Amino acid sequence: HGENSRVLSECVTCFGCDEYCPYGSHPFDLKVELQEKYNSHNLSPKLLEMSINRFKPHDELRLKHIDSGKPVLNKCAFIKSHAKHMEGQLFENLQYVAGLDYFCNLLYHHIERDSIIKKRVPIIIGNIQKQSIQELICFHDECYGLYASYCPRNNIEVPFKPIHIFEYLYNYLKELLSGIEVIKKTQTQ
């Protein structure tokens, strides 16, 4: 009913209620809005301010040379921490964007601040548009969730095709199928 409830303080923002809702009502969105309204987890203003400032996009975007006819990998904010996971043949010919200017910001659901996401999504989408990206491969699952689920639920237009990293990997391997050697496992292995 739009009122404070124990459900709001007991919710751990796992998104499970949205995944399993048989009515497509998106209860998670309502919970997060109400959590922000009532500060359900009693988050300190200092912690909130620090978190909000830590992940904000830059005031000025530095453009990269991007071939808009080819897909672009969005490394999100994981440029250094996940660099070793984005090496090798699967990634060597992929152009990419990365950093806070392309960060999805969905982490703010975990600190009850959907308003920050709604404020920043147009900036992030604008940055992608400035790069003339047509197909964006999302390394980060939440980035894909932003463009494929959050934006449509909130009537935010996504002017490019989001591609989940697993879809990219599947299609990449499918193209190389004839060159992939199947290793047969025996019972003694």
Domains contained in the chain, CATH given: 1-44 (no CATH), 54-179 (3.40.50)
Within 10 angstroms of residue 55's Cβ, the number of other Cβ atoms is 15
Whether the pLDDT of residue 3 is over 80: the answer is: no
CA atoms within 13 Å, Cβ hemisphere of 93: 4
CA distance linking residue 66 with residue 94, whole number of Å: 10
Name the region of 77 (left: φ>0; alpha: ψ -120 to 50; beta: rest).
alpha
CA distance linking residue 131 with residue 156, whole number of Å: 19
Report which DSSP code applies to 97: E
**pLDDT tens-digit series, residues 11-44:** 888 888 988 999 988 899 999 999 999 999 999 9
Amino acid at site 181: E
Local confidence band at 54 (pLDDT 50, 70, 90 cut-offs): very high
Q: What stretches of 137-185 show up as alpha helix (H) in DSSP?
A: 141-145, 151-153, 165-175
CA distance linking residue 42 with residue 108, whole number of Å: 15
DSSP reduced 3-state for 94:
coil
Q: What is the pTM of this model?
A: 0.86
> Per the structure block, which two tokens stand in for 117?
């996401």
Amino acid at site 60: E
Mean pLDDT value across residues 167-180: 88
Whether the pLDDT of residue 85 is over 70: the answer is: no
**Average pLDDT, rounded, for the chain:** 90
CA distance linking residue 1 with residue 38, whole number of Å: 14
Spatial strand order in the sheet of 95-97: 95-97, 72-74, 135-138, 161-164
Residues 6 or more apart whose CB falls under 8 angstroms from that of 52 comprise 108, 113, 116
> Per the structure block, which two tokens stand in for 90?
């699967």
Query: What was the pLDDT predicted at 81?
Result: 59
**pLDDT tens-digit series, residues 151-173:** 999 999 999 999 999 999 999 98
Query: What was the pLDDT predicted at 177?
Result: 83
Local confidence band at 83 (pLDDT 50, 70, 90 cut-offs): low
